[in-house]
Every structure is written in C-alpha cells, then in structure tokens.
C-alpha cells in the first residue's frame, strides 16, 4: 500500500465538511462572524466599536466602518512595534509584505497565529483534500513537494517577529513533519537572492521524486527553465516522471498554460488554482473542469461585497455573502482573525454559483498590471512618468501599458505606448528613469525586476499624434467621461492601438 493511500483517509472527514458548503453558507459565515467579534471584543479596536454589543450582521455593519490599508496602518505599525491587543487578541509576530498603496512602497499585513493556522494552513490542507477527492489514483505523498517561497527579515527589533513574503512565513512556521516530503531545504527556500535560489532549487531537486509543485506560475516557470538547462532534457517528465499536479496562484494562469503544456506533455498532469493572498486564503478550484473557485467559508474570514457599479459612491451598498448575485462584479471586503476589519482587499470577483458559492477573480478595484506578481497600480505609473518627465523635460499626453507575456526563455516585460506632447531627447534614458522609479516606489515590481530574472526592462513605443483619440473614436467613446485605460493585464486594448499606430 502506498503512503498516499494511507494518508488519504485523514482527509475524508474534511471532504465531508466541505460538502456542507452547498446549503449551510449563511450559518457558517454567521458562526465565523460571532467567533471574530467574540475573540476581539477586548482588543482596543473591539472596545472602540462595541464588539460586545454585536448580536447580528446588521449590528456589525452598523458599528464598524469599511477600511482600506490607510485607515488601519497606524494600528498595524503599533502592532509591529510589539503592542498587544490592538486589532487582534494578543501579540502578532508575523507580517506579510505586500505591494504598496498611494502613500507607501509596501503594505505590512498582520498574520496572527490564529490566522496562520485557521486560514492559511487550513487552506493548504483543503487543497490537498479536494485534489485527492478528485484524483483517486493519486500518488501525491509517495514523492516530494516542490514549494517555492520568498524571504523574510527581522521586524524592527521585536523578538521573534518577522516581516516578509507570506510564503516565507508559511515555510518558517510549517509543521516539521511536512519537511519530510518537501523540497528544497528550508535554508534554500528562504534565500532572498532569487538568481541563486532558482539555481540551488534546481540542483537540489534534480534527483528527487517530485510529484507536485506549488507556487506562482511566473516564478515556477523560471525555476523549471533552470532545471531543463541543467539536465538538457526536453520535457519535465523526463526529470520527474511521477509529477502529477501544479498547485498555482498569485497571478492569472492563462498566459502561462501553453508554455507549461509544452514543457510538461504527460497526459497525467493536473493544474489546480488557489486564491491565497497575504490577507487570507479565500478560494480553491474544486472541480478541474470548472475554472471558478470554491469560496472557503468556514475559516477565520467573514466576507462582504460591494457592487462595482457603486464602488465610487460615497455610501455604496454592502452585502454579506448570502445576498450576492451571480454574474455581478463585486469588490471583496473581508474581516479576519488577523485583525483586518471590513477591509477592502482590492480584488474584484464575480460569482458563478451560489450553491455552493463559486467565483472567478475579475480584476482589481483600480487599473493595474499583475501579470507576474508585480501589482503595478496607476498611482505608481503616474509617479514614475512624472519623475521621468521632470528629469528629461518631456511631456506625456496619453499613455497605456500592458504586459508582454513570457516567451520560450521565460522572458517578459511591460510595454508602454506613450503619446508625447514633447518628446524626450533620449527615449532610452526616459525608459530607464521610469523603470528605476517604478522599482523605487513598488516593492513587488522591484522584486520581479531583480537581475532581470522574471521581468525585463520595460519597453516604450512612441504613439503617433492623436492615436488615443482615434482609438476612443473607433470605440464610440470619444469625449464625455470616457478615458483611456491606463494599465491592463490584457493586451487587447494595446494591441488594437498598436495596429492603428
């Protein structure tokens, strides 16, 4: 009997619990809300907003404002300096570093012990539970798991407190038993220099029986490319013949699917998407034939949603999970056992089903590019362009930007189409100034640009006069409130403009 057959039995009860999602969503979410407010009622935030008086969802919604990072930043910084019972009970030792806001290069998302165990690790276990349910012939645990992680560093001078990538926090605190089936070794997984890390990971795993891989598609592809370079093999199954699944998340998989299918030709290979953000573990693709994900509703996360057609209103409608409609675009609002209260995460989703609740990620609440995990927002772009113009004397009239997805050598870049009202004397210098400024103000962009490993130097294409107006006119959107989309994960708009250039 294989190890997987033995371990499989440990997941049966959880698989049955998840089946209750079909009809018990409202009850499970009310239980979660009760747990959150009861646990945090004696925190500073809980006392301020009278958690002790919250008896229903309506009480909760009336007592607590909707928050962005800016509203919680001061409290989070106090927690980082060691203060207890601020947003969540006790002290919070770990902080997941995420891309910044308008005012800051980085956000620092608290990860409490409760959140680590009952959100992030719970999600990881459920991924395995659902995969084994769907794949009765799996030999997942008969080999090793290749798990990519980031790095971390000390948090201020607080003892045993860390700040860094969520993946690094997860690896640092993982159950020691998991290390028996995980590669690479911990010291390699937590290296900060990705160029060194990818080489060491490749070398450490060449002769292992890797059955599954987990990570962000762009980073993983870079590692797998190095594996192929070292082995000289054409297909990955020649190196790891028992590889059966890629658990992926972080960025959309569609742009990478073809490259993975060229690299891994085995008919037994599976792909399973997860939605595990710094703020929490929210979704798992429970059906391999359905691209939508199952919303995980019995962790320490309470969900609310703002219809996107009301998002910019001063007092938008906000609904709990049981009031959402399918096919409607919503901004997601979360309250968690990490101390995030009615927090606008910035992602938008659309539900494909409400029995159980299944959804697809539709984008961000603002224009952005996040094709490779860089999370570039319009505010970053505006600041970068302003700096490049200031340094060169150039003037930008209109612009748009989109990703150029990875080629066969795992190379990629951002492509900017810019209409100048006053061109810079040296377009290459302008591009370098813009690229450097974006790295300075966005830590995720900086990380992806590091040594050109994942993201190459950006490209600028000069637009002819009136290109953007002509494009808007062709769409029947010239004038009025219509605007050129500044940043997009899709190449649809920029490709149309390039054809007209």
- Contact between 400 and 493 (Cβ < 8 Å): yes
Percent of the chain whose predicted confidence (pLDDT) is above 90 = 72
Q: Which helix (H) or strand (E) holds 267?
A: none
Average pLDDT, the chain: 92
pLDDT (tens digit per residue) in 363-414: 788 888 988 889 898 889 989 999 999 999 999 989 999 999 876 666 799 9
Q: In 10 A of CB 162, how many CB atoms?
A: 19
pLDDT of residue 404: 93
Q: What is the pLDDT of residue 496?
A: 97
User: What pTM did the predictor assign?
Assistant: 0.84
* Residues pairing with 349 in the sheet: 361
pLDDT digits (tens, 9 = 90+) for 330-368: 999 999 999 999 999 999 899 999 999 999 998 788 888
What is the predicted pLDDT for the residue at 408? Answer: 63
**Beta bridge partners of residue 332, listed in sequence order:** 305
Q: What are the structure tokens assigned to 439, written together? A: 């790295």
What b/e sequence results for 289-322 when a residue is b if at least 16 CB atoms lie within 10 Å of its CB, and e otherwise? eeebbbbbbbbbbbbbbbbbeebeeeeeebbbbe
Separation of alpha carbons 399 and 332, rounded Å = 29
pLDDT of residue 81: 96
pLDDT at position 421 is 86
Give the lowest-confidence range in 125-134, 203-212, 310-319, 431-440: 310-319
> Residue 100 — pLDDT band, cuts 50, 70, 90?
low
CA distances from 186 to 172, 189, 210, 375 (A): 8, 5, 16, 27
pLDDT of 481 reads 53
pLDDT score of 47 more than 90: yes
pLDDT in tens, 15-24: 999 999 998 9
Would you say residue 480 has pLDDT above 80? no
In sequence order, the 6+-apart residues with CB closer than 8 A to the CB of 2 are 139, 141, 142
Identify the residue with better confidence: 103 or 117. Answer: 117
Phi, psi of 257 (to 5 degrees): -55, -45
Tell me which residue of 167, 326, 137 sits closest to 248, measured CA to CA: 167
Sign of the dihedral defined by the CA atoms of residues 34, 37, 39, 42, in that order: negative
Beta 376-377 vs 293-295: how paired, if at all?
Answer: unpaired
Question: Given a cut of 80, is residue 255 above it in pLDDT?
Answer: no
333 near 305, Cβ under 8 Å? yes
> pLDDT tens for residues 284-325?
999 999 999 999 999 999 999 999 989 988 899 999 999 999
> Residue 422 has what pLDDT?
92
Residue 29 has pLDDT above 70, yes or no: yes
Query: Residue 479: what pLDDT?
Result: 57
User: pLDDT by residue (tens digit) across 173-204?
Assistant: 988 888 788 999 989 999 988 889 999 999 99
Q: Does 226 score more than 70 pLDDT? A: yes
% of residues, the chain, pLDDT over 70: 97
- Give the angle 47-51-53 at the CA atoms, nearest 5°: 115
Average pLDDT of span 233-261: 91
State yes or no: cis peptide before 196, omega within 30 of 0. no
- In this prediction, residues 81-100 reach a mean pLDDT of 93
């Amino acid at each position: 009997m294989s190890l997987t057959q033995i371990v499989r039995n440990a997941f049966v009860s959880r698989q049955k619990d998840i089946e209750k999602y079909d009809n018990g969503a409202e009850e499970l979410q009310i239980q979660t809300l009760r747990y959150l407010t009861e646990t945090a009622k004696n925190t500073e935030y809980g006392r301020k907003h009278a958690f002790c008086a919250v008896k229903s969802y309506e009480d909760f919604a009336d007592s607590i404002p909707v928050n962005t990072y800016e509203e919680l930043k001061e409290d989070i910084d106090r927690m980082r300096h060691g203060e207890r019972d601020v947003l969540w009970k006790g002290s919070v030792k770990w902080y997941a570093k995420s891309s910044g806001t308008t005012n800051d290069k980085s956000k620092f998302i608290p990860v409490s012990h409760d959140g680590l165990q009952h959100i992030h690790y719970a999600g990881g276990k459920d991924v395995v539970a659902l995969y084994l349910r769907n794949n009765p012939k799996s030999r997942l645990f008969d080999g090793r798991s290749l798990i990519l992680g980031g790095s971390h560093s000390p948090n201020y001078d607080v003892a045993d407190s860390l700040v860094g990538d969520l993946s690094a926090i997860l690896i640092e605190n993982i159950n020691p038993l998991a290390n028996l089936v995980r590669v690479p070794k911990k010291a390699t997984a937590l290296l900060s220099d990705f160029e060194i890390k990818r080489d060491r990971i490749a070398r450490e795993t060449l002769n292992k029986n890797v059955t599954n891989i987990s990570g962000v598609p762009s980073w993983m592809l870079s590692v797998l490319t190095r594996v192929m370079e070292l082995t000289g093999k054409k297909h990955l199954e020649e190196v790891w013949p028992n590889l059966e699944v890629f658990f992926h998340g972080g960025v959309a998989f569609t742009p990478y699917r073809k490259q993975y299918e060229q690299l891994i030709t085995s008919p037994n290979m599976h792909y399973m998407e997860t939605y595990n953000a710094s703020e929490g573990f929210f979704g798992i693709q429970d059906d391999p034939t359905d691209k939508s994900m199952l919303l995980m509703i019995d962790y320490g996360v309470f969900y609310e949603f703002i219809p996107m057609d009301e998002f910019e209103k001063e007092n938008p409608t906000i609904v709990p999970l049981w009031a959402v409609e399918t096919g409607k675009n919503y901004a997601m609002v979360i309250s968690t056992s990490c101390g995030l209260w009615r927090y606008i995460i910035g992602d938008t989703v659309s539900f494909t089903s409400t029995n159980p609740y299944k959804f697809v990620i539709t984008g961000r609440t603002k224009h952005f590019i996040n094709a490779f995990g860089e999370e570039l927002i319009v505010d970053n772009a505006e600041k970068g362009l302003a700096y490049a113009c200031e340094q060169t004397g150039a003037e930008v009239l209109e612009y748009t930007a989109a990703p150029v997805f990875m080629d066969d050598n795992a190379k990629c870049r951002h492509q900017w189409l810019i209409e100048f009202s006053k061109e810079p004397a040296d377009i290459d210098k302008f591009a370098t100034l813009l690229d450097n400024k974006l790295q300075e103000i966005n830590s995720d962009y900086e990380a992806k640009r590091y040594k050109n490993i994942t993201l190459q130097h950006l490209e600028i294409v000069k637009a002819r006069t009136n290109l953007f107006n002509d494009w808007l006119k062709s769409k029947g959107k010239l004038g009025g409130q219509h605007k050129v989309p500044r940043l997009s994960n899709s190449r649809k708009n920029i490709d149309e403009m390039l054809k007209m250039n």
